[in-house]
């Protein structure tokens, strides 16, 4: 069955979009299945930078049809703006974007609640992207949400529904000591966005099922990363969706048996944005060096990313959990100038040695990473021509492969589409 899934192997921002862009060249459909505008996916083509939040990164290829799946939470205003921005860059989107009628709507009050809760929590906050993600998923599982399909009802009905929701939620905002929203103005803004995206809303499952029957190639674009998954991540410092492989089939509306390849994306080191445990974080000079050389600042919020070393314990767990069939390593070029590179190969937890990532943050906080240090290659892996791996860089990749227990098929050596090496 021709479905390939690209899933983040760490805490997001692994360079998924760069790999999606590489694979989308040969794909007919590119499908987002989870999350919302908390994602920030960057693609660089001949020096031009594109950042996507809701629209699948495959939009850059004219032959690709893009689907926003039912597992997503979608801010209609953000989506309408993003599509306008994509069009302004000269990309033809006509008939190429479909939005699942099962996806849930992110309202401005969700964004207020997210931001208000975070501010109130202060130093014990999650460090969310403040895009309204958790409050929207709370309404979804609490069976109080509005789905994109509801936007297809007659205008008067939608207006009534929106007004009712805003009035109810204003009471909730007030009880939380947060600013209320002007009902009429907010509803009108949403109705303007609805007008733009209404033609895109449909039952996207049948589109994908028919694609499967015709043996067309489907690429699922993961957002966030496995360590941010609501079940398998560092709970409660996670996002509110199932960002791992399990969530892909449910969120896209595809049968589990349709998955053929599961490609795990891992940076050659580790980053995290927001709060929560990060065993291999380097808060000193090396972490700063990784941040500066890697340009580690969030695509969505611009926040500096926390940086540290490759965590093979977490990676091994992520490979098992997702059934990863092949790995892509990104940003190897960032390590070009390091004399020594550290790799966490196991955790010491009191007298115990852990080979797998624990399921709860209290255990994780007690774990001390054990490192191996390897010599750097001290050569440019990408100096503009055909990218190639120096011997020691190839040995680093082969070592990661051994530690993770999975083949590495792609190595990315720069932000640009062309900076990629395929390993046999
Ligand atoms: P995503 O959320 O997983 O798609 O990743 P982001 O786009 O948020 O962050 C990855 C960042 O690294 C972006 O700025 C990319 O342009 C950049 N990037 C991707 N691959 C490489 C690479 O191999 N080397 C370097 N130096 N940058 C890369
Ligand atoms: P992409 O798709 C990195 C993090 C936030 C925060 C936590 C919860 O670009 O890899 P949320 O707004 O989802 O409620 O925030 O999850 N987070 C991400 N970190 N990349 C992302 O997406 C992220 N999406 C959410 O920083 O710690
Ligand atoms: Mg990102």
pLDDT tens-digit readout, 72-93: 999 999 999 999 999 999 999 9
Torsion angle of the four alpha carbons 301, 303, 306, 307, in this order, in degrees rounded to the nearest 10: 90
Residue 41 Cβ contacting ligand 1 at under 6 Å: yes
Taking 90 as the threshold, does the pLDDT of residue 383 lie above it? Answer: no
| Cβ-based burial of 295 (10 A; exposed 0-12, middle 13-18, buried ≥19) | exposed
Average pLDDT of span 255-273:
97
Ligand number, closest to the Cα atom of 222: 2
Which residue's CA is the closest to the ligand 2 atom numbered 11? 128
Percent above pLDDT 90 for the chain: 96
CB-ligand 1 contact for 244 (6 Å cutoff): no
Helix (H) or strand (E) holding 310: strand 310-311
CB-count exposure of residue 381 (10 Å: 0-12, 13-18, 19+):
buried
Q: Considering Cα of 106, then 109, then 113, then 119, what sign does the dihedral take?
A: positive
Q: What atom in ligand 1 is closest to the CA of residue 225? A: 3
CATH number of 105-197: 1.10.300.10
pTM over 0.85: yes
CA distances in angstroms from 398 to 106, 232, 325, 408, listed in the order given: 43, 27, 16, 8
How high is the pLDDT of residue 424?
A: 80
Determine the pLDDT at residue 68.
Answer: 98
Cis omega (within 30 of 0) for bond into 236: yes
Which of 128, 244, 272 gets mutated to test ligand 2 (max ligand atoms within 8 A of its CB)? 128
**What average pLDDT does this structure show over 88-106?**
97
The pLDDT value given to residue 299? 81
| % pLDDT > 70, the chain | 100
User: Tell me, what's the pLDDT at 223?
Assistant: 98
Question: Which backbone phi and psi does 94 adopt, to 5 degrees?
Answer: -55, 125
Q: Cα dihedral sign for 257, 258, 263, 264? A: negative
For the segment(s) 266-422, the CATH number from 3.30.465.10, 3.40.50.300, 3.90.170.10, 3.30.420.40 is 3.90.170.10
Query: 302 or 198: which carries more pLDDT confidence?
Result: 198
Task: Identify the helix (H) or strand (E) that includes residue 51.
Answer: strand 48-52
Residue 384: the pLDDT is: 76
What positions carry a catalytic annotation?
13, 41
Residues 358-365, mean pLDDT to the nearest whole number = 93
Task: Kindly indicate the confidence band of residue 286, based on its pLDDT and cuts at 50, 70 and 90.
Answer: very high
Q: For the chain, what is the radius of gyration of the CA atoms?
A: 21
Cα 301 to ligand 3 centre (Å)? 10
Question: What tokens were used for 94?
Answer: 């006509």
Token pair belonging to 96: 């190429």
Question: Rounded mean pLDDT of 262-274?
Answer: 98
Atom of ligand 1 nearest to the CA of 42: 7
pLDDT band at 1; cut points 50, 70, 90: low
**Confidence at residue 405, expressed as pLDDT on a 0 to 100 scale:** 96
Ligand 2 atom index nearest CA of 225: 10
> Where along the chain do its domains lie?
3-100+201-262, 105-197, 266-422
Q: How far apart are CA 419 and CA 386, in angstroms?
A: 8
Query: Which CATH architecture best describes the domain 3-100+201-262?
Result: 3-Layer(aba) Sandwich (3.40)
Give me the torsion for CA of 254, 21, 398, 414, rounded to 10°: -150
Return the best residue to mutate from 10, 14, 15, 330 for the ligand 1 pocket (most ligand atoms within 8 A of CB). 15
User: Which residue's CA is minimally distant from atom 19 of ligand 2?
Assistant: 12
Bridge partner list, 312:
none
Backbone angles phi, psi at 217, to 5 degrees: -90, 125
Q: Could you give the count of Cα atoms lying within 13 Å of 201 in the half-sphere of its Cβ?
A: 23
Q: How far is the centre of ligand 1, averaged over its atoms, from the C-alpha of 250 (Å)? A: 27
Q: State pLDDT tens for residues 218-259.
A: 999 999 999 999 999 999 999 999 999 999 999 999 999 999
Nearest ligand to residue 413 Cα = 1
Q: Mention every residue, 6+ apart, whose C-beta is less than 8 A from residue 204.
A: 31, 67, 68, 69, 70, 98, 99, 100, 101, 253
| CA atoms lying within 13 Å on the CB side of residue 29 | 29
Any atom of ligand 2 within 6 Å of the Cβ of 131:
yes
Q: How far is the CA of 42 from the centre of ligand 3 (A)?
A: 7
């Amino acid at each position: 069955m021709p479905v390939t899934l690209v899933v983040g192997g760490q805490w997001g921002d692994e360079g998924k979009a760069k790999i999606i862009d590489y694979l989308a060249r040969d794909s007919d459909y590119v499908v987002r299945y989870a999350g919302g505008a908390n994602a920030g996916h960057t693609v660089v083509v001949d020096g031009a930078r594109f950042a996507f939040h809701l629209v699948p990164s495959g939009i850059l290829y004219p032959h690709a049809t893009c689907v926003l799946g039912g597992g997503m939470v979608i801010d209609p205003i953000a989506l309408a703006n993003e599509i306008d921005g994509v069009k302004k860059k000269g990309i033809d989107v006509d008939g190429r974007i479909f939005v699942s009628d099962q996806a849930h709507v992110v309202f401005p009050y969700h964004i207020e609640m997210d931001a208000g809760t975070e501010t109130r929590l202060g130093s014990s906050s999650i460090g969310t992207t403040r895009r309204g993600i958790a409050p929207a998923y709370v309404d979804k599982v609490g069976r109080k949400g509005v789905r994109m399909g509801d936007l297809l009802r007659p205008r008067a009905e939608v207006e009534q529904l929106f007004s009712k929701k805003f009035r109810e939620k204003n009471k909730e905002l007030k009880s939380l000591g947060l600013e209320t929203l002007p009902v009429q103005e907010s509803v009108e803004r949403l109705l303007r966005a609805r007008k733009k995206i209404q033609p895109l809303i449909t039952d996207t499952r049948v589109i994908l099922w028919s694609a499967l029957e015709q043996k067309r190639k489907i690429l699922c674009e993961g957002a966030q990363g496995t360590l941010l998954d609501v079940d398998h991540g560092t709970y409660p410092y996670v996002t509110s969706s199932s960002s791992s492989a399990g969530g892909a089939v449910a969120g896209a509306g595809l049968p589990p048996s349709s998955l053929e390849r599961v490609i795990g994306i891992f940076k050659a080191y580790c980053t995290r944005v927001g709060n929560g445990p990060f065993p291999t974080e380097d808060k000193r000079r090396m972490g700063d060096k990784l941040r500066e050389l890697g340009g580690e600042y969030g695509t969505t919020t611009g926040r500096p990313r926390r940086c540290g070393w490759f965590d093979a314990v977490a990676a091994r767990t992520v490979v098992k959990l997702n059934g990863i069939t092949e790995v892509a390593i990104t940003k190897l070029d960032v390590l070009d100038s390091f004399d020594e590179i550290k790799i966490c190969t196991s955790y010491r937890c009191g007298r115990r040695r852990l080979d797998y990532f624990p399921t709860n943050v209290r255990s994780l906080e007690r774990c001390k990473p054990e490192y191996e240090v390897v010599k750097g290659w001290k050569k440019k892996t990408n100096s503009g021509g055909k990218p190639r791996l120096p011997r020691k860089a190839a040995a680093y990749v082969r070592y990661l492969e051994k530690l993770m227990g999975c083949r590495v098929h792609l190595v990315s050596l720069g932000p640009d589409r062309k900076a990629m090496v395929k390993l046999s």
